[in-house]
Chains A and B, each alone.
Chain A
Amino acid sequence: MSQLVFIAFQDNDNARYLVDAIAEDNPEAEIQHQPAMIRIQAEKRLVINRETMEEKLGRDWDVQEMLIDVISIGGNVDEDDDHFILQWN
C-alpha cells in the first residue's frame, strides 16, 4: 500500500516560495491547487530545506516561519535549524 505524507499551505504570497522550494527539493511530489489552499503530497517523505527557501526569498529564513502559513500535515515531523521533514517509517 502506498503511504503518502502531505502538507497543506494557505494559498498566499509566503506559501508560493514554500511551494517552489518544495517542488525543487522533492521532484516527485504532487502539488494540488484547491480553493484558498495548496496541498502537496509525496510517497513516504517530504523535505523543506532552509537553504533552498533562503535562495528563493533572498533573505534569512527561520524554519519555524512556516508555522504561520501551514494548514495541515500528515506524517512524522523532524525539524531542526536547517530543515523540516515529514516521513512515514
Chain B
Amino acid sequence: METLGFLMDGFGVALQPHNLMFALLGAFLGTLIGALPGLGPANGVAILIPLAFSLGLAPETALIMLTSVYAGAMYGGRISSILLNIPGDEPAMMTCLDGYPMAQKGKAAEALAISAIASFIGSLVATVGLILLAPLLANFALTFGPAEYFALFLLAFATLGGITGKNPIKTVVAACIGLMIATVGIDNTGVQRYTFGVLELYEGVDFIIAIVGLFAISELMFFIEDRAGGGKEKMKVNKLTLTWREIREILPSSLRGGVLGFIAGVLPGAGASLGSFIGYTLEKKVVGKKGYFGKGDPRGVAGPEAGNNGASSGALVPMLTLGVPGSGTTAVLLALLISLNITPGPLMFTQNADIVWGVIAALLIGNFLLLVLNIPLVGIFVKLLSVPPMYLLPIVTMIAFVGIYSISNTTFDLYFMVAFGVGGYILRKLEIPLVPVILGLLLGPEMEKNLRHAMDISDGDWMILWDSGLAIGLWVFAGLGLILPYIIGPLLRRRMQNPIEEGTPGSD
C-alpha cells in the first residue's frame, strides 16, 4: 500500500490551487488544440513547451499542465472525427466509423457525449493501470545495467514505427539523422564535435527548437501545399438527450476498450492506433449480430474511443518508468522532462517521487475536469472547427516564433527553427517519420553515455552488449520490431482499411 501513500502525496501536489488552475488551463487548451484543424497533440504540446519555460513554471506545474494538454488533445481530436468524418490523428480513425453516421442521423450531441464518457472511462481504467504497473516496472528497471539500457534504446527506435508501420528502414534512417544531430556540440570528454567553430553550436542543438520547427513549421508548409486554407462549413449540434440507460449500455464497451487500449499503449510498437482498432473489432465480435456497427452504433463510438484514450495513458508507462517514449506525443513530453533537468527512468520514482505522482494524480484530476468541461462546452469547441486554417496556422507559427524567441532572446534560434521546418517538410514528403528524429535527438546523449559505461565496465569488449539474458531479449525484440512490419504489417493495415471502406457509406 506504499503506492497509495505516494498517490495521496501526488494528490497533495496536484490539488494545490495554482497546479489545479494550470491543469484546468491545460485541459482547456488541449481540447482546443485537439479540435482545431491542423494541430495534432504532439504539435500542440511542442508549441506550448517553450511557453511553459518562459513562464518560469515549477517543474511539477509545467508537467501537470502539459499532461493535461496531452489528455485534452485526445478529447478534442474526436470532435472532428464525429462531425466531419475527418480523424484529427490516426487513432481517431475508428471513431469516425460509427461517430459520423450517428451525427448524420442527427445524434451528434449524443455521439460527442458518449465519446467523452468513453474517453473518460478509458483514461480512468488506464490511469489505474498506470498506478499499479508503473512502480513495478520502475523497480524492475533498476536492475538494468548500461548494456541493457543501450539495447532498450535500440528497442525503442525499432518499435517506434509500430507493427503497422510502412517502411521500417525509413525509421532507421530517421533515427540516425536524429542521433547525428544529437552528437553536435562538446561531448563528455570535452571534444568539440561538428561545431564548425560556431559558438551557438557548442552546447549542441536545442531539441525544443528542433521539435517546434519539425512539427509547427512543416505543418504550415503542408497546408500551403494542399491549399487547404478555407474553413469547414459550420456544423449544427442538436440538443443533448442522453438517458442513463444509454450510458449504462456503453459502459461495458468502454471498460473493455480501456483495458485493451492500456495494454496496447504499454507494449512497445503497438500504440494508440492499434488500441482503438482492437477496441473496435472486439466490440464488433462481442456484441455480434445484435449491433449495427458502421451505421451509428453508440458502442462503436465508445469502444475505440476508450481504447484510444487508454492507450495514450498507457503510453506514459514506458515513458515515466524507462525514459523511453512509445509515441510522438510522449516523446515531446520526454523533451520537457529532460529540459527540466529531470532524468527520466526508474530513478525518477525515488528521486522525483513528488513530480511523478503529482503528474499521475493530475492525470486523474485532468480527466474529471475534461469530462466536466466537455459536455457543457462542446458547443464552443464545435465552433472552433470552422476556424479557417488560413488564419489559424500563421498565428500558430507566430506563437511558435514567440515561444522560441523567449527562451534565449536570440534570432539565431529562429533561423534554426525555420531550417528544421524545411527539413521536416522534405522528410515528411519522403514519408520518413519525424518522431524517430526527435527521439534520436532526445536519447542520443543517454545512448552514447550508456555505451561508454558498458564498454568501460567490459574494458572495451563489445560482447558485453549482449551478455545478459535480459539484453539478449531486448535485442531480439528490437530485431522483431524491424522485421515484423514487413511480414504482418501489410496484413494488419489491410484489415484496418477494410472496416473503414465498408463503414462509411456515401462518403466520397
Are A and B associated in one complex?
no
- Which residues of A are at the interface with B, using a C-beta cutoff of 8 A? none
